[in-house]
């Protein structure tokens, strides 16, 4: 069988399964998700063993520390997957939900019903937990899904897929509703990206290079975010100790995450109060600070001078760009120029400035007095997420089950004809 025929078989099975899963009762889809949560707990030693195969191979191949961290399925990662399954199963079913039913002048009732997207293809790097997050959300929304993880996680992804298919079969649903592409050849992805007659939407989740490559090749719609250049603006009116805690959490807790802080903007009136102690705090955490000329004297001797490329840079490590600004106008102008529509936060006790920031700054999440790390589906009440979209069609921000549906018009008539 040729590569094209093999991928066509995968896509064809997903298309057939999508029709069955879309018509299945919500209770059956929830039962499959709950069963998966049980299997993840029961089969955790199997999961860890398969994940170790990937970790060992990655070490031999010299995978960097950030990607090694994303590749590992730890106890906490597994528990997070289990928690996500249970939360998604407990959410209301979006499929079939009727929105805004209204009576027209001729007596007809017109509304919109939420419907599955169909077949979703998910392409992602490193993190094997995405296999579970993506699958349960797609199933909750009545979709089938084709999953293509990175070759470095192939054993982990196949292990999780086997448990997903067991859960589906126990719930009386087609196992083909969740498929992991077993071939690690990149040409397999290229073939699938041409099959818009089977696949309705593709969601790439990974580095900017991966996402741009998918956008260039795909013949179906792409939900994407290129990178996460996240800012915090420290207003002249703020609580400095609390602001330092938020900045540290945003940068240090998980620097390789797309919602980690990459650039700090500080009002000139508080720069001398916050930057010296912040420099000490972050240096102790291993953070390299790259400062503008006004920030450099305040950040300590370990700081280095920022250059033009540092503004708009997604570091994904313990590096932070720092700039002193004249006020909110300059901060928002900087975000508009260098931001990536991902996560933007203001730290302030001034209500008017906070509301202005929320209203005017364009990002998938805009926050006040909170860490950028909260731009995450699980943290925002979605249970899990299939990705964070920084494009506005058809979703903006973390995508949960509702974002994996569309709407169709529903018309209830009483034998009316059009004049």
pTM for the model stands at 0.87
| Residue 389 forms part of a structural domain | no
Question: In the prediction, which pLDDT does 273 show?
Answer: 98
Residue 236 shares a structural domain with residue 208:
no
User: Which one is predicted more confidently, 284 or 207?
Assistant: 284
**Mean pLDDT for the chain overall:** 95
Percent of the chain residues past pLDDT 90, beyond the cut: 87
| Residue 336 forms part of a structural domain | yes
- Domain end (from 226, 244, 270): 226
What's the Rg (C-alpha) of the chain?
23
- Domain end (from 374, 391, 414): 374
Over range 363-374, report the average pLDDT.
97
Question: In the prediction, which pLDDT does 288 show?
Answer: 97
Over range 261-276, report the average pLDDT.
98
Residue 61 shares a structural domain with residue 169:
yes
| Residue 25 forms part of a structural domain | yes
Question: In the prediction, which pLDDT does 63 show?
Answer: 87
| Residue 390 forms part of a structural domain | no
Going by C-beta distance under 8 Å and a sequence separation of 6 or more, which residues neighbour residue 126? Answer: 67, 70, 71, 149, 150, 152, 153, 206
| Residue 43 forms part of a structural domain | yes
Question: In the prediction, which pLDDT does 385 show?
Answer: 85
Q: How confident is the model at residue 6 (pLDDT cuts 50, 70, 90)?
A: very high
Question: In the prediction, which pLDDT does 136 show?
Answer: 96
- Domain end (from 226, 251, 271): 226
Residue 173 shares a structural domain with residue 236:
no
Question: In the prediction, which pLDDT does 342 show?
Answer: 96
Q: With 80 as the cut, is the pLDDT of residue 299 above it?
A: yes
Residue 217 shares a structural domain with residue 240:
no
Residue 194 shares a structural domain with residue 269:
no
Residue 39 shares a structural domain with residue 140:
yes
Question: In the prediction, which pLDDT does 78 show?
Answer: 96
| Residue 405 forms part of a structural domain | no
Q: How confident is the model at residue 110 (pLDDT cuts 50, 70, 90)?
A: very high
Question: In the prediction, which pLDDT does 165 show?
Answer: 97
For residue 337, the domain's CATH number is 3.40.309.10
Question: In the prediction, which pLDDT does 105 show?
Answer: 96
Residues in the chain, overall count = 419
Range of the domain at 354: 230-374
Question: In the prediction, which pLDDT does 392 show?
Answer: 81
Residue 214 shares a structural domain with residue 235:
no
Residue 109 shares a structural domain with residue 238:
no
Over range 291-320, report the average pLDDT.
95
Q: How confident is the model at residue 1 (pLDDT cuts 50, 70, 90)?
A: confident
Percent of the chain residues past pLDDT 70, beyond the cut: 100
Residue 136 shares a structural domain with residue 249:
no
Per-residue pLDDT tens over the stretch 18-73: 999 999 999 999 999 999 999 999 999 999 999 999 999 999 999 888 788 889 99
Over range 301-307, report the average pLDDT.
94
User: Which one is predicted more confidently, 63 or 375?
Assistant: 375
Q: How confident is the model at residue 244 (pLDDT cuts 50, 70, 90)?
A: very high
| Residue 113 forms part of a structural domain | yes
Per-residue pLDDT tens over the stretch 331-344: 999 999 999 999 99
Per-residue pLDDT tens over the stretch 181-237: 998 888 999 999 999 999 999 999 888 888 999 999 999 999 988 789 999 999 999
Question: In the prediction, which pLDDT does 383 show?
Answer: 81
How many folded domains does the chain comprise?
A: 2
Residue 213 shares a structural domain with residue 234:
no
Residue 79 shares a structural domain with residue 10:
yes
| Residue 407 forms part of a structural domain | no
Q: With 90 as the cut, is the pLDDT of residue 125 above it?
A: no
For residue 101, the domain's CATH number is 3.40.605.10
Over range 306-317, report the average pLDDT.
95
Residue 207 shares a structural domain with residue 235:
no
Question: In the prediction, which pLDDT does 116 show?
Answer: 97
Per-residue pLDDT tens over the stretch 66-107: 788 889 999 999 999 999 999 999 999 999 999 889 999 999
């Amino acid at each position: 069988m040729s590569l094209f025929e093999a991928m066509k078989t995968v896509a064809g099975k997903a298309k057939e399964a999508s029709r069955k899963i879309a018509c299945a009762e919500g209770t059956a889809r929830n039962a499959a998700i709950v069963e998966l949560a049980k299997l993840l707990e029961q089969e955790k030693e199997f999961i860890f063993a398969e994940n170790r195969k990937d970790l060992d191979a990655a070490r031999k191949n010299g995978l960097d520390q950030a990607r090694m961290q994303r590749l590992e399925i730890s106890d906490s990662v597994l528990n997070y997957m289990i928690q996500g399954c249970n939360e998604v199963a407990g959410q209301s079913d979006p499929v079939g939900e009727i929105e805004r039913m209204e009576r027209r002048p001729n007596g007809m009732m017109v509304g919109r019903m939420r419907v599955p997207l169909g077949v979703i293809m998910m392409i992602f790097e490193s993190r094997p937990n995405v296999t579970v997050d993506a699958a349960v959300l797609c199933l909750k929304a009545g979709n089938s899904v084709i999953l293509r993880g990175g070759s470095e996680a192939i054993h982990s992804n196949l292990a999780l897929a086997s448990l997903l298919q067991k859960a589906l079969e126990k719930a009386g649903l087609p196992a083909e509703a969740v498929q992991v592409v077993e071939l690690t050849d990149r040409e397999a992805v290229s073939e699938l990206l041409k099959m818009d007659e089977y696949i309705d939407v593709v969601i790439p989740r990974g580095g900017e290079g991966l996402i741009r490559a998918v956008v260039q090749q795909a013949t179906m719609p792409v939900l994407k975010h290129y990178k996460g250049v996240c800012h915090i603006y420290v207003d002249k009116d703020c609580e400095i100790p609390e602001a330092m805690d938020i900045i540290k959490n945003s940068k240090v807790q998980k620097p390789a995450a797309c919602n980690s802080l990459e650039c700090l903007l500080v009002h000139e009136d508080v720069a001398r109060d916050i930057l010296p102690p912040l420099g000490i705090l972050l240096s102790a955490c291993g953070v390299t600070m790259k400062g503008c000329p006004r920030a450099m004297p305040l950040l300590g001797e370990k700081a280095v001078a920022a250059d033009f490329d540092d503004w708009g840079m997604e570091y994904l490590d313990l590096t932070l760009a720092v700039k002193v600004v004249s006020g909110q106008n300059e901060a928002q102008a900087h975000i508009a120029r260098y931001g990536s529509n991902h996560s933007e936060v203001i730290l302030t006790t001034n209500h008017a400035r906070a509301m202005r920031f929320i209203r005017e700054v364009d990002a998938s999440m805009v926050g006040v007095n909170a860490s950028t790390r909260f731009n995450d589906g699980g943290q925002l009440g979605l249970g899990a997420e299939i990705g964070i979209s920084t494009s506005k069609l058809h979703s903006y921000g973390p995508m949960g089950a509702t974002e994996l549906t569309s709407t169709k018009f529903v018309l209830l008539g009483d034998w009316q004809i059009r004049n």
